[in-house]
Amino acid sequence: MKRIKAACLEQTIHFQLKDGLGPETAREQVRQEYAFYKAQMDRRRTPYKVLAEQEQPDGSLIVEIKRQNNSQPVGGYLD
């Protein structure tokens, strides 16, 4: 029998601009969506670590995150 001792999910998420909005409004919405995503993980008490945030020339945002998958223990992955 095997058991998971520690697990972690590494994601690269692209927060893209919405069509039909002005450039500043679209950038602000991307930032708000990213802040909402992090706040949601905080509310759910999901352990996570932001590895990198890269703003693209068009104003979109690419974020690399390590986070807990389901309720599996994360061990030393987030240290």
The predicted-structure confidence for 46-60, as pLDDT tens digits, reads as follows 999 999 999 999 999
State both tokens at 32. Answer: 């708000």
Do residues 49 and 78 lie in contact, with contact meaning Cβ atoms separated by under 8 Å? yes
Supply the pLDDT for residue 14.
96
Rounded Cα–Cα distance for residues 38 and 63 (Å): 11
HSE toward the beta carbon, residue 7, CA cutoff 13 A: 8
pLDDT tens digits for range 18-43: 888 888 898 999 999 999 999 999 99
12 forms beta bridges with: 64
Beta strand ranges found along the chain (DSSP E) = 9-15, 48-55, 61-67
Model confidence, pTM:
0.86
